[in-house]
Each structure stands twice: as structure tokens, then as C-alpha cells.
A and B are shown apart, each in its own frame.
Chain A
């Protein structure tokens, strides 16, 4: 899958103005199979860009094309399909359900797609070190623990692109490494692309494709 943006500018940025950017008011193509690190200060529209690509914001000028199709023409059902089969998203606020257990939070997505076996999910949970918390409610977990769950939830679907909005902001070096390993490996398996945003550039040779927003 290929995501092409041209002359894209969100309405809030249009009003306040912005400096030279590789994305805004420009043409850029994301291809699946590659990893893109989008670096910017806060307030330059990192989340806005991700939300536009996920179909949650429509207040922009310019065009976003998924394999040549303008996403402004997608219906609600088209978006539901894309969110189940094409694009996975780890939200900045995680959007987990506090009253559900860790496992239920993940299954909430997996029952929709029937993509992963329960064993595979448990294997991932074990890998990120949360096996003992399997049936604990999300509200009792720390932010870092919850973030790992949110990532595993996002992996419970087929995807051409994985979007992550500031995934590393609150993580220590070890956890950052853990997450990077997990998502790059799974993306490679799916031959999918990763687009993630960050406040500061992350120096990791796997994440070398840096875009200044």
C-alpha cells in the first residue's frame, strides 16, 4: 500500500502559519515496508497528521491518497474496513478501557478481526513481561505497561501501515528497545510500513528515515 499526500495542510495550521516542512504543503509518499520517523516540537501537528491518515480528522486542505484513492471519498464503512484490515494505530492516549482486564482489552480488537490466536497474544504479553498481569484490570497498570498492551492490541489485525503517536515519550531506554523490537519485527513479517511521531529524534539504525515536520 502507498500513502501519498499532496499540498496537505490542516485548517488550524493554516490559520497560525508554520515553518518549512517536508510534509505540510508538500508532496510525500509513504510506502509499506519502510519505517518513517516524524520528528517535531509539540504544536506542529504530529497527532493531526496521524489522525488525518486514520480518517478521524477531516479539517484539512489538500489531498491524501491511499493507493491513488482520495480518502475524503471514503464512507464510514470504508473506514471501519480500513481500520480492521489496513491500518493499525497506537493512540497517544492509548484509549484502553480501564474496567476491562489486560486480556479483554486486547481481545476487544481481536474478536473483530479474528487475526491472532490466543496463544500468540499470550506469547507477546509474555515477551513484554506482563504475563503475570494477564487478568488484571487496565486501571491498575502503569502507563508503560498499558502502552505495551496498546501496541499488542494494534498488532491484532492485518495491516499495511502501523501508526504510532509518540510511542516513546514516557518510556525508559529498556522499554523503548523492547517496543521497537516488537513492532519492527511484526511489521517486517507483514511487509508493512511504520509511521511514528516523536518529540526528539530517536537514534536507532532501524529508524533512520527521519522526516522533519
Chain B
């Protein structure tokens, strides 16, 4: 018969493990892992929908235009802002900054070659631009110099949704993610007749705040001069940075001046704000649950050690060292954790599928890769193991040194 210290100690420790206890351990660590991994994956997949939307358009912006009446349509009077009106607006208390929209005064045609199963097409287009400091995109993407053939473009996110959930589904075309959309190259044909030139263009970002196609302002100024040198128009749309969100004075002033503001936009602002608030709340509660789950797992092993207190002390007295005494608990902990981890991964995917089915219809999500989720889970296992090891070793040491 052969004996070794590991087997004998494990036999002693195992003695206090009933079936009920083991299943309880497993049950709670599966719950713990499930919550941890699910929370992590959801955060990675969905959080950007709440965070990045506002990145294109800085906060506290309102876009103004004049209301269009039937009379104006008949007389052909342009609903543009005069110098005086703009100055008056600038002098208001609630206004921090005013920028005017410029729009393209020349014909624009867009062409796309067939890419990734999307059939090629061409369409007439227009551009608008606003001052640089109203836009918040990565500097390197959003840049144009004279002589540059490449033109960066920002389009409304609704266009993407229109394609993905309206056009593509009805025509049997593949749906395209935001990321893929920014990689599609297309051509722009500017001007007409003799004065015509082809440019390369790419979508660099999406906006939910303004319903127009944006190009860099310096490009539009240059292009207007080059392709439509004689035309010059007063701005018909204005973007205003207010000092605080939802200022009462602002609404009354806009009302008095008969300016139209995009009510939906304001509503959207509010909605996004509440969504963000709800999301942070859920995240906060999730963090508490996650913390509790980790705590539960650690407490479980503490309990096991506490139950074996006398044995641990006796083993220490006959010459076992702290590491040898902690080893069986660590072994059990890693086994429990790996089992829980393996069981919780498919559970997470099951729930994610359900969520995606419900949410995917109105929200474009980036699906994280299976390996990312598995890797994320493994990192959690390792971190928990290290925390557990430190705490377990300390508890064993404490028991060993107690009189």
C-alpha cells in the first residue's frame, strides 16, 4: 500500500464535504460566474450604444431652422437667417456658441461598386457642413487638405438602419454593421460638364443628432468656390450650443422668433439621458450582485476551512506547512471554478441569444467573439483563484498560529 501526503490530507478535508454542500458550492459559483460573464459580455456588446452616440455631436447642441409656410413656397422666399438675426441670437444669455450650416451649391453624384454582396448603385446627393469645433470625431479621420482626393463623410445613423432593417431585409441583401460600413469605399462625382471631377470617399462616423450628410467645412468652402463660384447663400440652418440642457429661456426665445427646432431631437436627448441613467443604475446593481457572487464563493471556502479548523491545526503541529495545508482547498476551489465556468458559458450564450432577439431589431450590436467571451471568463477564473489563494492561505495561517 502506498501513501502520500496529498491523498491523506485530501481525504481528511473531503470528509466534511457532504453532497448537499458540494452542490450548494457549485450552484452558487455557477450563478456567480454566470452573472460575471454575462455582465461583462453585455457591457462590451451593448455599452457603446449608450456611450458613443454622443461622440459625433457634443452635448447641448440644438439645430435651428425657420418654419416653412405655404406662402413661402409660393413666393419662393428662402427661409434663411439674416446677419441681424444671427447677431441677435449670439447676444442671448443662454447661447454659448453659434455656428452656421453651409450647403453644397453644386451637383453631387455618389457611386458605389458592388462590395460584399451589396449591389452597386449611384444616386444624387448633397452636402452640408458645420464649423469644426461642433464636431467631435477622431482628428485624423475628419480632415481635408486642398489637393486631397479623399473626402471623409458623416451620415445619420438612421440611414444605416434604413438600409439594414428596411432595404436589405426586403431585398434579401446582407445586413451590414457600422464597422463594415466605414470600410466601404465609394466615388463622388462633383460638378457638371467640363468642370467635373471624381473623388474617393468613405464614411468615417455616424450621427444620431442631425439629419444631414456632413463633410469637412474647409472642403465644402473650397468645393463651392470651385464648382459654383457665383452662388452665395445665407445659411438656412444654424447650430447653437446652449449653456445648459433644457433651458426654459431658450425654448421661449425660439418660439418667439418662430424658429423651428427639432422636437424629436430634444426628446431623443431626454430619452438617451434616461436610458443612460437606467443603464448606469443596472450596471451599478449588477456590480453589487457580481461582488456578492465573488464574496459568496470566497465565503464558501472560508466555511470549509472553518469546519476543518482543528484538523488543520493538528496537521500543522505534526509538521505540515501552510502551503501543504492550503493546497487541498485551492485544488477544490479551482475544480469548482472550472466546472462552474464550463457550465456557465453556454448559459450565457443562451441568455445572450434571447436578449439579442429582443433588442437586435432596433439596436445594431457588435457581437463579441466566442473566444473573447471564453478568454474573459478564464481571466475571471484566474483573478478569482489568485484572490482565493491569498485569502485561503491567510485563513489557514491564522488557524495554524492560534493557540
Q: Name B314's contact: one of A57, A97, A113 (CB within 8 Å).
A: A97
- Contacting B at CB under 8 A, from A86-117, are 89, 91, 95, 97, 99-100, 103-104, 107-113
Asked if B319 and A109 make an inter-chain contact with CB atoms under 8 angstroms apart, the answer reads yes
B318 near A83 with CB under 8 A, answer yes
Nearest-CB residue, chain B, relative to A107: B3
The 8 A CB mask of B307-342 against A (1 = contact, 0 = none) is 000010011011111100000000000000000000
Shortest CB-to-CB span from B394 to chain A, Å, is: 13
- Name the B residues within 8 Å of A153 (CB-CB): 318
Q: Does A42 contact B (CB under 8 A)?
A: no
Q: Which of B201-248 contact A (CB under 8 A)?
A: none
Measured CA separation A89–B9 after assembly (Å): 20
| Nearest chain B CB to A74 CB, angstrom units | 13
Q: Which of B11, B311, B321, B403 contacts A56 (CB 8 A)?
A: B403
A108/B321 contact (C-beta < 8 A), A95-B314, A97-B314, A99-B15 known: no
Check A76 for interface membership: any CB of B closer than 8 A.
yes
Contact partner, B5, options A80, A100, A111, A157, Cβ 8 Å = A111
B384 to chain A, nearest CB (A): 26
Could you say which of A54, A56, A57 has the most chain B C-beta atoms within 10 Å of its C-beta?
Answer: A56
A157 vs B12: C-alpha distance when bound (angstroms): 21
A47 to chain B, nearest CB (A): 11
Residues A95 and B319 in contact, CB atoms below 8 Å apart: no
Which label, helix, strand, loop or mixed, suits the secondary structure of the A interface?
A: helix
A50 nearest CB across to chain B (Å): 12
Whether A77 is near chain B, meaning CB under 8 Å from some CB there, is yes
**Once bound together, how far apart are the Cα atoms of A102 and B317, in whole Å?**
18
Contact check: which of A59, A80, A91, A100 meets B8 at CB < 8 Å?
Answer: A100
A157 touches B322 (CB 8 A): no
B84 within 8 A of A: no
In the complex, what residues of B have CB within 8 A of residue A83's CB? 317-319
Q: Which of B4-31 contact A (CB under 8 A)?
A: 4-5, 8-9, 11-12, 15
CB of A84 within 8 A of chain B?
Answer: yes
Closest approach, in angstroms, between the C-beta of A38 and any C-beta of chain B? 20
- Establish whether residues A89 and B8, one from each chain, have CB atoms under 8 Å apart when the complex forms: no
> Which residues on A sit within 8 Å (CB–CB) of B314?
95, 97
Asked whether, in the complex, the Cβ of A100 is within 8 Å of the Cβ of B321, the reply is no
Chain A interface residue count: which class? 20 to 34
Q: How far is the CB of B47 from chain A (nearest CB, A)?
A: 47
Q: In whole angstroms, what is the CA distance A77 to B3 when docked?
A: 24
Q: Is the CB of B8 within 8 A of A107?
A: yes
Q: B12–A112 contact, CB under 8 A?
A: no
Give every chain B residue within 8 A of A107 (Cβ-Cβ): 3, 8
Interface string of B298-314 (1 = CB under 8 A from A): 00000000000001001
In the complex where A56-B403, A100-B8 touch, is A110 in contact with B3 (Cβ < 8 A)?
yes
The residues of A that contact B401 with a CB separation of less than 8 Å are 76
CA distance A95 to B12 in the complex (A): 13
CB-CB under 8 A from A108, the residues of chain B are 3, 5, 8-9, 315, 318
Which residue on A lies nearest to B324, using beta carbons? Answer: A112
Note all chain A residues with C-beta closer than 8 A to B318. Answer: 83, 89, 95, 108-109, 112, 153
Contacts of A113 in B (CB 8 A): 319
Report the Cα distance A59→B402, complex, angstroms: 12
CB contacts (< 8 Å) of A59 on chain B: these are 403
Expressed in whole angstroms, the Cα–Cα distance for A108 and B11 within the complex equals 11
Q: Do residues A80 and B320 form an inter-chain contact, with CB atoms below 8 A?
A: yes
> A104-B3, A107-B3, A112-B5 are known contacts. Are A99 and B12 too (CB-CB below 8 A)?
yes
Residue of B1, B318, B320, B401 most packed against chain A (CB within 10 A): B318
List chain A residues, Cβ under 8 A from B12: 97, 99-100
Closest to A85 in B: B319
Contacts A100-B8, A109-B318, A112-B5 given; 4 further ones with Cβ under 8 A? A76-B397, A97-B314, A104-B3, A153-B318
A–B complex contacts, Cβ < 8 Å, 20 sampled = A54-B317, A56-B403, A57-B403, A76-B321, A76-B322, A76-B397, A80-B320, A80-B321, A84-B319, A89-B317, A89-B318, A95-B318, A100-B12, A107-B8, A108-B9, A108-B315, A108-B318, A111-B5, A112-B5, A112-B318
